[in-house]
Protein backbone atom coordinates (compact mmCIF):
# COMPACT_ATOMS: atom_id res chain seq x y z
CA UNK A 1 0.00 0.00 0.00
CA UNK A 2 1.18 3.50 -0.84
CA UNK A 3 1.71 5.53 2.31
CA UNK A 4 0.64 9.15 2.25
CA UNK A 5 1.60 9.87 5.85
CA UNK A 6 4.75 8.43 7.40
CA UNK A 7 5.69 9.13 11.00
CA UNK A 8 8.84 7.80 12.61
CA UNK A 9 9.94 8.27 16.20
CA UNK A 10 7.96 11.48 16.34
CA UNK A 11 8.37 13.24 19.67
CA UNK A 12 7.26 16.57 21.10
CA UNK A 13 8.39 17.59 24.54
CA UNK A 14 7.23 20.55 26.61
CA UNK A 15 9.95 20.93 29.25
CA UNK A 16 10.19 17.42 30.68
CA UNK A 17 6.74 16.39 29.57
CA UNK A 18 6.24 14.20 26.49
CA UNK A 19 3.09 15.38 24.70
CA UNK A 20 3.95 12.93 21.89
CA UNK A 21 6.35 10.15 22.73
CA UNK A 22 8.26 8.34 19.94
CA UNK A 23 5.30 7.78 17.69
CA UNK A 24 5.52 5.47 14.66
CA UNK A 25 2.60 5.42 12.26
CA UNK A 26 1.95 4.92 8.55
CA UNK A 27 -1.31 5.87 6.87
CA UNK A 28 -2.26 4.61 3.42
CA UNK A 29 -3.64 6.65 0.55
CA UNK A 30 -7.43 6.84 0.67
CA UNK A 31 -7.65 5.46 4.17
CA UNK A 32 -10.03 6.83 6.80
CA UNK A 33 -7.98 6.80 9.95
CA UNK A 34 -9.23 7.63 13.44
CA UNK A 35 -7.08 9.06 16.19
CA UNK A 36 -8.88 7.98 19.32
CA UNK A 37 -7.97 8.87 22.87
CA UNK A 38 -8.80 10.82 25.99
CA UNK A 39 -8.09 14.53 26.58
CA UNK A 40 -4.43 15.35 26.55
CA UNK A 41 -3.41 12.11 24.83
CA UNK A 42 -1.42 13.97 22.18
CA UNK A 43 -3.80 13.80 19.22
CA UNK A 44 -3.85 17.52 18.47
CA UNK A 45 -0.10 17.86 18.93
CA UNK A 46 0.43 15.03 16.43
CA UNK A 47 -1.91 16.75 13.96
CA UNK A 48 -0.14 20.09 14.40
CA UNK A 49 3.21 18.44 13.66
CA UNK A 50 1.82 16.87 10.48
CA UNK A 51 0.76 20.32 9.36
CA UNK A 52 4.04 21.99 10.20
CA UNK A 53 2.32 24.15 12.82
CA UNK A 54 4.35 22.68 15.69
CA UNK A 55 7.94 21.57 15.40
CA UNK A 56 8.86 18.09 16.57
CA UNK A 57 11.49 17.80 19.30
CA UNK A 58 12.80 14.77 17.42
CA UNK A 59 11.71 12.22 14.83
CA UNK A 60 10.28 12.58 11.34
CA UNK A 61 6.97 13.22 9.63
CA UNK A 62 6.32 13.06 5.92
CA UNK A 63 2.99 14.04 4.43
CA UNK A 64 2.46 13.47 0.69
CA UNK A 65 6.22 12.93 0.52
CA UNK A 66 6.86 16.39 1.99
CA UNK A 67 8.54 17.40 5.21
CA UNK A 68 6.21 19.76 7.13
CA UNK A 69 9.14 21.25 9.06
CA UNK A 70 10.92 22.47 5.95
CA UNK A 71 8.08 22.61 3.42
CA UNK A 72 5.08 23.86 5.44
CA UNK A 73 3.59 25.84 2.55
CA UNK A 74 3.72 22.90 0.15
CA UNK A 75 2.13 20.69 2.81
CA UNK A 76 -0.66 23.22 3.37
CA UNK A 77 -1.43 23.13 -0.34
CA UNK A 78 -2.07 19.40 -0.24
CA UNK A 79 -3.61 19.02 3.18
CA UNK A 80 -6.93 20.45 4.24
CA UNK A 81 -7.22 21.07 7.96
CA UNK A 82 -10.46 21.50 9.81
CA UNK A 83 -9.82 22.65 13.38
CA UNK A 84 -12.22 22.04 16.24
CA UNK A 85 -13.88 25.38 15.67
CA UNK A 86 -13.72 26.69 12.14
CA UNK A 87 -13.43 30.42 11.62
CA UNK A 88 -15.58 32.04 8.94
CA UNK A 89 -16.53 35.58 8.06
CA UNK A 90 -19.82 35.61 9.90
CA UNK A 91 -21.21 38.52 7.89
CA UNK A 92 -20.65 36.75 4.60
CA UNK A 93 -22.89 33.97 3.32
CA UNK A 94 -21.69 30.38 3.02
CA UNK A 95 -21.28 30.88 -0.72
CA UNK A 96 -19.34 34.11 -0.29
CA UNK A 97 -17.02 32.53 2.27
CA UNK A 98 -16.18 29.64 -0.03
CA UNK A 99 -15.80 31.89 -3.06
CA UNK A 100 -13.32 33.99 -1.11
CA UNK A 101 -11.30 30.88 -0.19
CA UNK A 102 -11.29 29.86 -3.86
CA UNK A 103 -9.96 33.25 -4.90
CA UNK A 104 -7.25 33.06 -2.24
CA UNK A 105 -6.29 29.76 -3.85
CA UNK A 106 -5.85 31.37 -7.25
CA UNK A 107 -9.25 30.87 -8.89
CA UNK A 108 -11.07 33.67 -10.68
CA UNK A 109 -14.27 34.89 -9.01
CA UNK A 110 -16.43 32.99 -11.50
CA UNK A 111 -14.45 29.78 -11.20
CA UNK A 112 -14.47 30.03 -7.41
CA UNK A 113 -18.21 30.61 -7.28
CA UNK A 114 -18.97 27.71 -9.58
CA UNK A 115 -16.82 25.40 -7.54
CA UNK A 116 -18.31 26.70 -4.29
CA UNK A 117 -21.85 26.01 -5.53
CA UNK A 118 -20.92 22.44 -6.42
CA UNK A 119 -19.36 21.86 -3.02
CA UNK A 120 -22.25 23.43 -1.11
CA UNK A 121 -24.52 20.91 -2.82
CA UNK A 122 -22.03 18.15 -2.07
CA UNK A 123 -22.11 18.85 1.69
CA UNK A 124 -25.87 19.37 1.80
CA UNK A 125 -25.91 23.16 2.19
CA UNK A 126 -27.39 24.12 -1.16
CA UNK A 127 -30.52 25.57 0.40
CA UNK A 128 -28.52 27.62 2.91
CA UNK A 129 -25.94 28.98 0.52
CA UNK A 130 -27.08 32.59 0.89
CA UNK A 131 -27.51 32.50 4.64
CA UNK A 132 -24.83 34.33 6.63
CA UNK A 133 -22.24 31.95 8.11
CA UNK A 134 -22.80 33.57 11.52
CA UNK A 135 -26.34 32.20 11.46
CA UNK A 136 -25.29 28.61 10.66
CA UNK A 137 -25.76 25.91 13.30
CA UNK A 138 -22.71 24.08 14.61
CA UNK A 139 -23.37 21.11 12.28
CA UNK A 140 -23.81 23.43 9.29
CA UNK A 141 -20.57 25.22 10.14
CA UNK A 142 -18.72 21.91 10.22
CA UNK A 143 -20.13 20.98 6.82
CA UNK A 144 -19.22 24.39 5.48
CA UNK A 145 -15.76 23.74 6.93
CA UNK A 146 -15.45 20.55 4.91
CA UNK A 147 -16.56 22.36 1.76
CA UNK A 148 -14.03 25.09 2.51
CA UNK A 149 -11.26 22.53 2.88
CA UNK A 150 -12.33 20.87 -0.40
CA UNK A 151 -12.05 24.19 -2.28
CA UNK A 152 -8.34 23.52 -2.65
CA UNK A 153 -8.61 19.89 -3.84
CA UNK A 154 -6.64 18.41 -0.97
CA UNK A 155 -5.11 14.94 -1.03
CA UNK A 156 -5.47 14.63 2.72
CA UNK A 157 -8.09 16.04 5.06
CA UNK A 158 -7.39 16.29 8.77
CA UNK A 159 -10.26 16.99 11.13
CA UNK A 160 -9.88 17.70 14.83
CA UNK A 161 -12.95 16.59 16.82
CA UNK A 162 -15.25 17.30 13.88
CA UNK A 163 -18.44 16.01 15.47
CA UNK A 164 -18.20 17.96 18.73
CA UNK A 165 -21.53 19.59 19.52
CA UNK A 166 -23.41 18.19 16.54
CA UNK A 167 -26.69 16.38 17.16
CA UNK A 168 -26.91 12.64 16.40
CA UNK A 169 -28.62 13.06 13.01
CA UNK A 170 -26.05 15.64 12.03
CA UNK A 171 -23.24 13.36 13.14
CA UNK A 172 -24.54 10.55 10.96
CA UNK A 173 -24.72 12.75 7.89
CA UNK A 174 -21.31 14.17 8.62
CA UNK A 175 -19.71 10.75 9.00
CA UNK A 176 -21.33 9.65 5.75
CA UNK A 177 -19.77 12.65 4.05
CA UNK A 178 -16.35 11.69 5.37
CA UNK A 179 -16.70 8.11 4.13
CA UNK A 180 -17.81 9.31 0.69
CA UNK A 181 -14.77 11.53 0.34
CA UNK A 182 -12.52 8.58 0.88
CA UNK A 183 -14.47 6.03 -1.17
CA UNK A 184 -15.46 8.15 -4.14
CA UNK A 185 -12.58 10.57 -4.37
CA UNK A 186 -9.70 8.64 -2.86
CA UNK A 187 -9.03 11.39 -0.32
CA UNK A 188 -7.18 10.30 2.80
CA UNK A 189 -9.11 11.31 5.90
CA UNK A 190 -7.70 11.57 9.39
CA UNK A 191 -9.87 12.52 12.28
CA UNK A 192 -9.50 12.74 16.00
CA UNK A 193 -12.23 11.91 18.45
CA UNK A 194 -13.07 10.77 21.95
CA UNK A 195 -15.97 8.73 20.68
CA UNK A 196 -15.21 5.14 19.99
CA UNK A 197 -18.67 4.60 18.54
CA UNK A 198 -18.27 7.28 15.87
CA UNK A 199 -14.76 6.27 14.95
CA UNK A 200 -15.88 2.68 14.73
CA UNK A 201 -18.53 3.53 12.15
CA UNK A 202 -16.32 5.13 9.55
CA UNK A 203 -12.66 4.36 10.07
CA UNK A 204 -10.72 1.70 8.21
CA UNK A 205 -8.20 1.77 11.02
CA UNK A 206 -8.01 3.34 14.42
CA UNK A 207 -5.04 4.36 16.53
CA UNK A 208 -5.62 4.55 20.27
CA UNK A 209 -3.53 7.27 21.89
CA UNK A 210 -2.74 7.41 25.57
CA UNK A 211 -0.14 9.72 27.13
CA UNK A 212 1.52 10.55 23.84
CA UNK A 213 1.86 6.95 22.78
CA UNK A 214 0.05 4.72 20.36
CA UNK A 215 -1.32 1.99 22.55
CA UNK A 216 -2.91 -0.04 19.79
CA UNK A 217 -3.51 0.45 16.10
CA UNK A 218 -5.49 -1.50 13.54
CA UNK A 219 -8.91 -2.43 12.26
CA UNK A 220 -11.62 -2.13 14.87
CA UNK A 221 -11.90 -5.93 15.13
CA UNK A 222 -8.30 -6.42 16.08
CA UNK A 223 -8.20 -3.64 18.67
CA UNK A 224 -9.83 -5.45 21.55
CA UNK A 225 -7.50 -8.37 20.94
CA UNK A 226 -4.48 -6.10 20.93
CA UNK A 227 -5.59 -4.24 24.02
CA UNK A 228 -7.02 -6.88 26.27
CA UNK A 229 -6.69 -10.22 24.57
CA UNK A 230 -6.32 -11.97 27.89
CA UNK A 231 -9.06 -10.16 29.76
CA UNK A 232 -12.12 -10.11 27.57
CA UNK A 233 -14.15 -12.38 29.87
CA UNK A 234 -15.00 -11.56 33.44
CA UNK A 235 -16.33 -14.42 35.56
CA UNK A 236 -17.63 -13.77 39.02
CA UNK A 237 -18.27 -16.53 41.54
CA UNK A 238 -20.17 -15.53 44.66
CA UNK A 239 -19.82 -17.73 47.73
CA UNK A 240 -22.37 -18.23 50.46
CA UNK A 241 -21.36 -15.56 52.97
CA UNK A 242 -23.07 -17.44 55.81
CA UNK A 243 -20.81 -20.48 55.61
CA UNK A 244 -17.64 -19.93 57.64
CA UNK A 245 -15.71 -23.17 58.11
CA UNK A 246 -12.51 -23.27 60.13
CA UNK A 247 -10.46 -24.02 57.00
CA UNK A 248 -12.07 -21.23 54.93
CA UNK A 249 -8.93 -19.11 54.62
CA UNK A 250 -6.84 -22.05 53.49
CA UNK A 251 -9.56 -23.29 51.11
CA UNK A 252 -9.80 -19.88 49.48
CA UNK A 253 -6.04 -19.69 48.98
CA UNK A 254 -5.84 -23.19 47.52
CA UNK A 255 -8.82 -22.58 45.23
CA UNK A 256 -7.31 -19.31 44.04
CA UNK A 257 -4.12 -21.11 43.03
CA UNK A 258 -6.08 -23.75 41.15
CA UNK A 259 -8.16 -21.12 39.36
CA UNK A 260 -4.98 -19.33 38.29
CA UNK A 261 -3.80 -22.55 36.64
CA UNK A 262 -6.79 -22.80 34.29
CA UNK A 263 -5.51 -22.17 30.74
CA UNK A 264 -6.64 -18.72 29.55
CA UNK A 265 -7.01 -17.19 33.01
CA UNK A 266 -5.17 -13.87 33.36
CA UNK A 267 -6.01 -12.85 36.90
CA UNK A 268 -7.90 -14.11 39.92
CA UNK A 269 -8.93 -11.76 42.72
CA UNK A 270 -10.81 -12.45 45.90
CA UNK A 271 -13.04 -9.66 47.21
CA UNK A 272 -14.80 -10.58 50.43
CA UNK A 273 -16.76 -13.68 49.46
CA UNK A 274 -16.41 -13.23 45.71
CA UNK A 275 -13.97 -14.59 43.16
CA UNK A 276 -13.29 -12.29 40.18
CA UNK A 277 -11.62 -14.04 37.28
CA UNK A 278 -10.55 -12.36 34.05
CA UNK A 279 -9.68 -14.60 31.17
CA UNK A 280 -9.30 -14.80 27.42
CA UNK A 281 -12.09 -17.38 27.05
CA UNK A 282 -15.15 -18.67 28.77
CA UNK A 283 -13.85 -20.85 31.60
CA UNK A 284 -17.02 -20.73 33.71
CA UNK A 285 -17.51 -24.55 33.85
CA UNK A 286 -13.93 -25.12 35.03
CA UNK A 287 -14.28 -22.32 37.59
CA UNK A 288 -17.48 -23.84 39.00
CA UNK A 289 -15.95 -27.30 39.24
CA UNK A 290 -12.86 -26.04 41.06
CA UNK A 291 -14.77 -23.90 43.55
CA UNK A 292 -17.21 -26.66 44.43
CA UNK A 293 -14.44 -29.29 44.40
CA UNK A 294 -12.51 -27.13 46.87
CA UNK A 295 -15.28 -27.55 49.43
CA UNK A 296 -16.57 -24.00 49.06
CA UNK A 297 -20.25 -23.13 48.88
CA UNK A 298 -20.92 -21.50 45.54
CA UNK A 299 -24.04 -19.35 45.51
CA UNK A 300 -23.92 -18.02 41.96
CA UNK A 301 -21.67 -17.72 38.97
CA UNK A 302 -21.92 -15.03 36.32
CA UNK A 303 -20.02 -14.67 33.13
CA UNK A 304 -19.81 -11.75 30.75
CA UNK A 305 -17.84 -10.85 27.70
CA UNK A 306 -16.59 -7.29 27.24
CA UNK A 307 -17.02 -5.52 23.91
CA UNK A 308 -14.49 -2.99 22.66
CA UNK A 309 -16.75 -0.23 23.98
CA UNK A 310 -16.55 -1.49 27.53
CA UNK A 311 -12.87 -2.26 27.27
CA UNK A 312 -12.27 1.29 26.06
CA UNK A 313 -14.32 2.82 28.87
CA UNK A 314 -12.88 0.53 31.50
CA UNK A 315 -9.38 1.24 30.27
CA UNK A 316 -9.72 5.00 30.34
CA UNK A 317 -11.38 4.99 33.72
CA UNK A 318 -8.38 3.20 35.06
Ligand X SMILES: Nc1ncnc2c1ncn2[C@@H]1O[C@H](COP(=O)(O)OP(=O)(O)OP(=O)(O)O)[C@@H](O)[C@H]1O
Q: Which residues, including other chains, have CB under 8 Å from residue 295's CB and lie 6 or more apart?
A: 245, 247, 251
Stretch that binds ligand X, among 37-45, 64-72, 99-107, 241-249 (CB under 6 A): 37-45
Helices (H), 66-167: 72-78, 94-104, 109-122, 138-150
CB of 15 to ligand X, least distance (A): 8
Across 32-47, b (16+ Cβ under 10 Å) vs e yields: bbbbbbeeebbbbbbb
222-232 burial code (b ≥16 CB/10 A, e <16): ebbeebbeebb
How many C-beta atoms lie closer than 10 Å to residue 68's C-beta? 25
Minimum CB–partner distance for residue 45 and ligand X (Å): 3
Q: Cβ of residue 43: shortest distance to ligand X, in angstroms?
A: 3
Q: Which positions from 154 through 193 interact with ligand X, judged by CB under 6 A?
A: none
Q: Convert residues 41-70 into a mask of x (bound to ligand X by CB under 6 A) and - (unbound).
A: xxxxx-------------------------
Instruction: Give least dist CB 47 to ligand X, A.
Output: 7
* CA–CA separation, 215 and 159 (whole Å): 21
- Choice between 39 and 317, CB closer to ligand X: 39
* Total site size for ligand X, rule CB under 6 A: 10
Strand partners, 3: 28
Distance, in Å, from the CA atom of 34 to the CA atom of 32, rounded to the nearest integer, reads 7
User: Quick check: 232 binds ligand X (CB under 6 A)?
Assistant: no
12-31 positions binding ligand X, by CB under 6 A:
14, 19
Contact range with ligand X by CB under 6 A, out of 40-48, 166-174, 240-248, 308-316: 40-48
Residues of the shown chain interacting with ligand X in the complex, contacts defined by CB under 6 A = 14, 19, 37, 39-45
Amino acid sequence: MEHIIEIEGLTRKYDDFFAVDHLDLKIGKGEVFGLLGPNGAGKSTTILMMLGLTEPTSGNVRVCGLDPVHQPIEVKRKVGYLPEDVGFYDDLSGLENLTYTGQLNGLSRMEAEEKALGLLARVGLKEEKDKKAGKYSRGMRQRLGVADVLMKNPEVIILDEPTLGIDPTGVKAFLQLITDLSRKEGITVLFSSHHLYQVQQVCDRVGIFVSGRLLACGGIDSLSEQLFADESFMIEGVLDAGVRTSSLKEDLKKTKRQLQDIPGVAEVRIEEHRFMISSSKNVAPEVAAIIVGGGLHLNSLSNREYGLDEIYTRYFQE
